[in-house]
Amino acid sequence: MTKNFSGKFWSFTFYLLFFAGAVAIYNYFALYFQQEGIPGVQIGLLMGTSSLISIFAGPLWSGLADASHRHRLVLFTAIIGNVIAIFLFPIFHTFLPFLVLMIIQSLFGGPIVSMVDNSTMSMLGDEKEMYGRVRIGGTIGWGVAAPIVGVIVARFGLRWNFSIYAGLVLIALIAVQQLRFGQRVVSVSFLGGIRELLTDRKWIVFLTIVFIAGSGSAVISNYLFIYLQKIGTSPSWMGWAVTISTVAELPALLVAHRLLKRLGSDGLLTLGLAATALRCGLYGLVNVPWLALVIQLIQFFTYPILLVAGVSYAHENAPAGLGATAQSIFSSSFMGFGYAAGGFIGGVLIQYIGVQKMFLVFGMLILLAALIFGLAQRLQSVSQPA
């Protein structure tokens, strides 16, 4: 019991500090690049490249950790490299240096959250359904820091954001030293485990769905502030927009284990897809700042639902000894391929049709995917013998 409490505490603390720092960076990247005079297509390339690098970085680092059983050292190295790259951004002002730094910070940052997720699931033992309640630390950190960062941006500008991130994530290294990682006997080779995951029909369907969900999550995360700026929202209220979505996310993480038991991972993914489509569609239609803030409440049904469903599925279906690798493959499809596609395509669409029409396009495409996936699951359940 004591060990479980300790594991929950240190995982909670890491999520709290890491995401308090992350809110200063990831929602502001596109806005910062726009401020520096980078055109929309190049912003899309920067955002897409970051996610694309994460696709390969996460599984490679996590695979190295699984193979060497040096998870803590690998995680520590990844965090230090990521922080150094982030801290250097204010020194430069043009596309090519930004591109290099986005590649470096993504190369080191790709495995961080998935490795901590794997540690958390391992330390929870028989209480794995409590993942959402531990992960809520990240939601609290994100929500508390968001309005503070908004005030800092309004008063001092965006350059301070990089120092905020670096400072908080370095403090989070204290929690990293207390994390424990399961050391299960590997049932297959590393490459064999990868092959097993990527040739399994259920995993292929799962990764396809989280890719689509990731593309929708990417345009919301990357371009929300450009949308809010377009409709006349002040920088300080942009911070509150994040806080509102965070408040909506808190109860979702508290009850996610019940929803998971009731709907299963497939049902949660369908729900998350439909809600993401609705949210994108509303951004495309709403031009009033206070109504845009109300839309943030849909967060309850989007990111936290998708996250819990994905992490749970990856943990339950991972080959023995490849838990970190399975989490990274999920993360690569969701926040790698998905975020890369959403980031790049979203940036291109913003330049040619505007940010609101971009959201409408994504909303319609994601809704179509949700309808097809939901119907497929319904037909599958009907065809199965009772």
Determine the pLDDT at residue 79. Answer: 93
- Please, are residues 293 and 244 in contact by the beta-carbon 8 Å criterion? yes
Residue 189: DSSP 8-state: -
DSSP structure class, residue 302: S
Q: Is residue 183 very low, low, confident or very high in pLDDT (cuts 50, 70, 90)?
A: low
**Looking up tokens 């926040």, which residue turns up?**
335
Q: What's the one-letter identity of residue 56? A: F
Find the mean pLDDT for residues 363-368: 93
What is the rounded average pLDDT for all residues in the chain? 83
Sequence length of the chain is 386
In percent, the amount of the chain with pLDDT more than 70 equals 89
Q: Which residues of 202-211 are buried (b: 16+ CB within 10 A; e: fewer)?
A: ebeebbebbb
Q: Which residues make Cβ contacts (< 8 Å) with residue 381, sequence separation at least 6?
A: none
Find the domain containing 91 and state its range: 2-181+189-383
| More confident of the two residues 36 and 113 | 36
Residue 215: per-residue pLDDT: 92
- List, in order, residues 6 or more apart from 279 with CB less than 8 Å away: 216, 220, 295, 298, 299, 302, 363
Between 332 and 28, the higher pLDDT residue: 28
Q: Cβ contacts of residue 96 below 8 Å, gap of 6+?
A: none
For the chain, how many structural domains are there in total?
1
pLDDT at 198: 72
Query: Does 373 have pLDDT greater than 90?
Result: no
Chain position carrying tokens 């769905």: 209
**Please, which residues have CB within 8 angstroms of residue 122's CB and are 6 or more apart in sequence?**
180, 181, 182, 323
Look up the CATH number of the domain holding residue 18: 1.20.1250.20
* Higher pLDDT pick, 159 / 383: 159
Mean pLDDT, residues 168-172 taken together? 93
pLDDT at 232 > cutoff 80: yes
Of 378, 372, 241, 341, nearest to 296 by C-alpha is 241
Q: What is the mean pLDDT of residues 324-330?
A: 74
Q: Which of 268-272, 315-319, 364-368 has the highest mean pLDDT?
A: 364-368
pLDDT score for 142: 83
CA 93/CA 33 separation, integer angstroms = 9
What is the pLDDT at residue 307?
84
pLDDT score for 386: 46
Q: Is the dihedral of CA 20, 308, 248, 283 positive or negative?
A: positive
Q: What is the pLDDT of residues 88-104, one digit of tens each?
A: 999 998 999 999 999 99
- Which position has the higher pLDDT, 275 or 266? 275
| DSSP designation for 321 | T
Q: Does the pLDDT value for residue 185 go beyond 90?
A: no
Question: Has residue 162 got a pLDDT over 90?
Answer: yes
CB 255 within 8 A of CB 379: no
Query: What confidence score (pLDDT) does residue 1 get?
Result: 42
Kindly state the DSSP code that residue 128 receives in the 8-state scheme. G
Q: Residue 69, by phi and psi: left (phi above 0), alpha (psi -120 to 50) or beta?
A: left
pLDDT at 2: 46
pLDDT at 384: 56
Residues 6+ apart with CB under 8 A from 284: 356, 357, 358, 359, 360, 363
Helix residue ranges, H only, the chain: 2-22, 29-35, 40-68, 71-87, 95-109, 112-124, 131-156, 160-176, 190-199, 201-230, 235-285, 289-295, 303-316, 323-331, 338-353, 355-383
Spatial separation of the C-alpha atoms in residues 317 and 196, rounded to whole Å: 11
Flag whether the pTM goes above 0.85.
Answer: no
- Better pLDDT: 114 or 167: 167
Question: Residue for token digits 């929870």?
Answer: 124
Distance of alpha carbon 123 from alpha carbon 168, whole angstroms: 24
Q: Which residues are CB-contacts of 14 (< 8 A; sequence separation ≥ 6)?
A: 116, 137, 172, 175, 176, 179
Chain centroid to CA 168: how far?
18
Of 68-72, 152-156, 349-353, the least confident:
68-72
CA torsion sign for 371, 332, 194, 4 is negative
Average pLDDT over residues 348-367: 93
